Structures are given as C-alpha cells and as structure tokens.
Amino acid sequence: MPLSPTTSTTVTPSDPAPPPRSYDGTSPFPPDGPVPARDGGEWLYVTVTAVIVILPFVALGLAGWLLWGSLIHPADIVLALVLYTITGLGVTVGFHRGLTHGGYRAVRPVRIALAVAGSLSVQGDVIGWVATHRRHHAFTDQPGDPHSPYRYGTHLRGQLRGLVHAHVGWLFRNERTPAERYAPDLLADRDIRAVSRAFPALCVLTLALPFGAGWAIGGTWRYGVTALLWAGFVRIALLHHVTWSVNSLCHMIGERPFRTRRHDRATNLWPLALLSFGESWHNLHHADPTSARHGVDRGQLDPSAAVIRLLERLGWVHDVRWPTADRVAARRV
Ligand SMILES: [Zn+2]
Ligand SMILES: [Zn+2]
C-alpha cells in the first residue's frame, strides 16, 4: 500500500486561557472544585490504578527471587530492551512530540503504529494521555496543572509532598481531563479513536508478546514466564518511573537555561536523557513545546529527535518543526 500523508490534523492545543485564579508562585494550590463522577465508579478507577502501579513492583520482587534461582536468560534482557525502546519511543515520538504538540506530521501507517507502540507502555489510552499532557502545558506549575510538584507550596514539607504527588500520587486523584476540551482533534480522528478504544487489549498484548516470544525462544513455558517478568512487568515499571520522573524531577531539580512562562519551573536534567529518550531536556521543551528536538545544545542526547530525523529521511514524517538557531537563541535566559 502506498504511503500517503494523513488528512487528519495534528494541532497544537488551543491553550485554553487559565481561569483568573491568583497564584503567587509559592503558596499551596487552592482546593479543586467538586469532581464529576467517573463512569464505572471511583473504586474501580482507584483499583485499576493501584494494580497498574503496584503490580510491576510485586513482579520485580518476584523477578529478583527467580534471579536468585538463576532463572533469568539473555533473551529476557534482549526482549526487555527491545520492548522498552519500542514502547518508550511510542510515548515520546508518538504520543508526546507528534500527537500532543504537533512537532511533525506523519503518514497514516506511522501515525497509527506510533500510537499503538505508545499504548503498549500502559500509561493510559492515547487520547487521555494527550489531553492530560496538554492541560499540564496550559497550567504548568500553577493551579490546574494535573501533576505539579508545587501543588503543596514551596516550603520543604510541601515540596516533598508535591514530589510524591507529581511522580505518582496524581494518578490516584480522580481528576479526569475532558478530552472534548483538550484533544478534540484526536476525538475527530477515526484511527486514533480506534487505538484509544483498543487500549485494554493492547495492555494484554504488551504482556502476551514477551511471554510468547520467551516461550518460542526457550522452548518451554518457564522461559515464557521469566520473559513475562523481565520484558513485561519490569520493563513497564521502569518506563513508568522514567516518564513520571519527567513530571516530578524535571520540574524540581536541574538547569533552566531557557525562558519559560511565569511560574513554569521545567528543568533540563541530563542523567535521565538516555533512559527518557531525550525527554528530560524538559526546560527547552517547555520554552518551545512544538520543537521536535528537545536536546538542542551540544552533547545533549536526544534519541527521539534522531528517530524523527530517520523517519523524515524515509519520507514517513514531514513538516518537522526543527529548532532553528534564532529560535533557540531567542529563548535563552
Ligand atoms: Zn512538564
Ligand atoms: Zn509536552
């Protein structure tokens, strides 16, 4: 099938204007209004979130115990690396730089493939992910931000509480981001809607794949089980925490060489650059959200940008918003 440019639009969020709530940059955020009920009930939402967050750690403990009995195989590690890379790039290149921020436009099969790859990371369905992240940019580090580490103020205790909230605590708050408001472009996209609906099945697939591959490579079901642990649960848990670290650590520690909007404290944090595929150059990202490259300075590893460049050379993505020297210089502090 010939590759043809997609007709659907990838728009930058229309940045809904924050409500006129005053915020001085240091106080705890005011309490939220009443939260609308979620379909299926609160307990179901909290239970599913708890399973997603806790189960990988139970698996990690189990994996360690199995390792003690020498039940880890080279194939498990290779499978884990491959799946970490595919699902990680699905999130960074697909969900984030492409679908959320419109840093490039992709031909239809690539757009769908990236949305599927990102969904295999078990970070929520693609439309919900994008809506939440656009809200984070609309209200960064001020009331309305779904995961700001400054939620409880800037004194030490508030900061520690805020760090836990920004890393994982926010997932447990029943604070739905309306996709109708933040991701109408994706709701209007049949392909993306289908990927979004398939999220539960993709969560099963992301575990079935390593199990099946491990079994096929090793020849017995025990190889399937160890592959499921390492390349399934442990791989998912690691990417979860790297992604969440961009939300938490990359708004608290690191360097801020670029100007961002008022109250926005996004940072560049080099130790996470490789594991996060370049997403930890988060200060530049908040200074210029549509830029397809986040690591713009010399020596800043940005594997996601390298993949976008490769896809561009293959003719599979186009209209890439590469940072120009002028644009970068204009944003430098
Ligand atoms: Zn951020
Ligand atoms: Zn972003």
- Rounded to the nearest angstrom, the distance between the alpha carbon of 285 and the centre of ligand 1 is 8
**What per-residue confidence (pLDDT) applies to 328?**
95
Identify the nearest ligand to the CA of 101 by its number: 2
Closest ligand (CA of 150): 1
Count of domains in the chain? 1
Does the pTM exceed 0.85?
A: no
Query: Residues with Cβ < 8 Å from 200, sequence gap 6 or more?
Result: none
For residue 242, how far is its CA from the centre of ligand 1 (angstroms)? 13
CA of 127 to the centre of ligand 2 (A): 14
Residue 43 within a domain: no
49 Cα to the center of ligand 1, angstroms: 21
| 106: three-class secondary structure by DSSP | strand
Backbone angles phi, psi at 332, to 5 degrees: -75, 145
In a domain, 245, yes or no: yes
Q: How far apart are CA 35 and CA 161, in angstroms?
A: 21
Q: How far is the CA of 179 from the centre of ligand 1 (A)?
A: 19
Q: Token pair for residue 190?
A: 């049949």
Ligand nearest to the CA of 267: 1
Q: Which ligand is nearest to the CA of 100?
A: 2
The DSSP H or E segment spanning 61 is helix 42-68
- Centre of ligand 1 from the C-alpha of residue 316, in Å: 28
Look at residues 272, 245, 228, 201 and name the one whose alpha carbon lies nearest to residue 80: 228
Position 294 scores a pLDDT of: 97
- Residue 152's domain comprises 68-331
**Does residue 1 fall inside a structural domain?**
no
Q: So what's the pLDDT on residue 4?
A: 43
Q: What is the pLDDT of residue 36?
A: 56
Closest ligand, as measured to the CA of 291:
2
Model confidence pLDDT, tens digit, residues 51-85: 767 777 788 777 777 775 457 788 998 999 999 99
Ligand 2 centroid to Cα of residue 146, in Å, is 13
Domain annotation covers residue 49: no
Q: Which ligand is closest in space to the CA of residue 247? A: 1
pLDDT at position 157 is: 83
CA of 116 to the centre of ligand 1 (A): 23
How far does the centroid of ligand 2 lie from the alpha carbon of residue 228, in Å? 31
Where in 3-134 does DSSP place strands (E)?
105-106
Distance 92 CA to ligand 2 centre (A): 9
User: What's the gap in Å between 55 CA and the centre of ligand 1?
Assistant: 26
Closest-approaching ligand to the CA atom of 290: 2
Q: Pick from 253, 216, 239: which is nearest to 95 by CA?
A: 239
pLDDT at 55: 77
Ligand 1 centroid to residue 97 C-alpha, Å: 13
114 lies in some domain? yes
Mean pLDDT by 10 residues, the chain (333 residues): 40 48 77 60 69 75 69 87 98 98 98 98 96 96 92 85 88 87 97 98 98 94 91 94 92 92 92 94 97 96 98 98 94 93
Give 141 Cα–ligand 1 centroid separation in angstroms.
Answer: 8
Domain assignment of residue 33, yes or no = no
User: 13: left (phi > 0), else alpha (psi -120 to 50), else beta?
Assistant: beta
Residue 279 placed within a domain: yes
Residue 47 falls within a domain, yes or no?
no
